[in-house]
Copies of this chain bind each other. A is one copy, B any other.
Amino acid sequence: MRRMSRSPTTPPTLEDVARVAGVSRATVSRVINGTRNVDRKIQEVVRAAIDQTGYAPNRAARSLVTKRAGTIALVVSGAGEPGDEDAFAARVFSDPFFGRVASGVLGFLRTRGVHPVLMVADTEAAREDVLSFLRQGSADGALLVSTHAEDPLPARLVEAELPAVLFARPARPVPISYVDLDHQAGAKLAADHLVGRGCTQVATIAGPLDVPASQDRLTGFRDAMARHGFPYVPIAEGGFTSGSGEAAMERLLAEHPGIDGVFAANDLMAQGALMVLHKHRRLVPEEVALVGFDDSSPALACRPRLTTVRQPVEDMAAGMSRLLLDHVEEPGLRPRSVIFEPALVVRDSA
């Protein structure tokens, strides 16, 4: 009987391939997984049979026995605004920073045949979903990019003994692996540059102060300025968005009209600040020098292009992924952290 290539047929299984090749299932399994030695001749026969049948191993069946899903969860967690369930996702996915994280994660994972499942944990229900997704074995571990300090997810992950790695040091101490940047060093780079070009009235637009990264950038900046002989640095707090950067810059200008240098804790806020500066007819960098943080796409889209502190987000994301796969392979592994170094990228705004 001729087998039609048109479908309603069930897909071929190992059994089918074995029959066609005239060997046992085990042998076929071996050539597919490259485990053990299999005779050259036989390997060829099996491969031919695989091509002929169009066989593709069933993942569920494989996972069932190997206890590996071959996927990990890429979780963005934060506080969803009650009422508008999707606002959080919308905001985070439109942030170029997250795009870089995703890109770095994918770039590394694709070399290991692992795939990321995108999840948003902005409500208690969503957090439960993440946890159960992992407990079900749907993913072998979680990569967590947390956007707010009180996030309970890291602790829950640890408690459930699920492999997980964070993008940044958690706000409250939790025995969990993470990658991070030396934010203080980055802020120092900005301070040195601003002072180096002669600024004497320098202010800063800080990120949300409940986030450790914001804290560190602020502390690092203040310390460095103090060492340069400037004990007082005016600050305005923003929320890492362009709009909040605008508002912060307005406040700064109103209270300290003589400002000649600004360090914004990320590029998005710097972008906002730039527009306000322009509106007030302050020439950048001639009258006010501006340094951003991150070196994300807005830094290049701005005019003048932003001088900024580069955060190697893609590398960090790749490192985070590698760390996670280590934890997946070796469940006992102790928490580990990897800190990356920032670099100053001098462009036109300072």
Q: Tell me the minimal C-beta distance from A223 to chain B in angstroms.
A: 32
Given A89-B103, A161-B7, A57–B136 Cβ distance below 8 Å? Answer: yes
Q: Are A117 and B314 in contact (CB under 8 A)?
A: no
| Copies of this chain, count | 2
> Which residues A277-311 have CB closer than 8 A to chain B?
278-279, 296-298, 300-301, 303
A340 contacts B by Cβ under 8 Å? no
Q: Residue on B with the closest CB to A63?
A: B60
Q: Within 8 Å of chain B (Cβ to Cβ): is A138?
A: yes
- Residues 61-80 of A, flagged 1 when their CB comes within 8 A of B and 0 if not, give 10110000111001000000
Q: Is the CB of A102 within 8 A of B116?
A: no
Q: A interface, by DSSP: helix, strand, loop or mixed?
A: helix
Tell me the complex Cα distance, A275–B300, Å: 12
When the two chains form their complex, are residues A275 and B297 in contact, meaning their CB atoms are under 8 A apart?
Answer: no
> Could you tell me if B115 and A115 are in contact, using CB atoms closer than 8 angstroms?
no
Residue A93 interfacial (CB < 8 Å):
yes
A118 touches B74 (CB 8 A): yes
Pair A115/B106 contact, Cβ less than 8 Å:
no
Chain B residues with Cβ below 8 Å from A89 are 102-103, 106-107
Interchain nearest-CB distance for A243 vs B (Å): 8
Whether A275 contacts B303 by the Cβ 8 Å rule is yes
For A7, A96, A271, the residue with the greatest tally of chain B CB atoms inside 10 Å of its CB is A96
**How far is the CB of A285 from the nearest CB of chain B, in Å?**
16
Partner of A93, one of B56, B100, B278: B100
Are A99 and B94 in touch, CB under 8 angstroms? yes
Decide if A117 touches B64 in the complex (CB within 8 Å): no
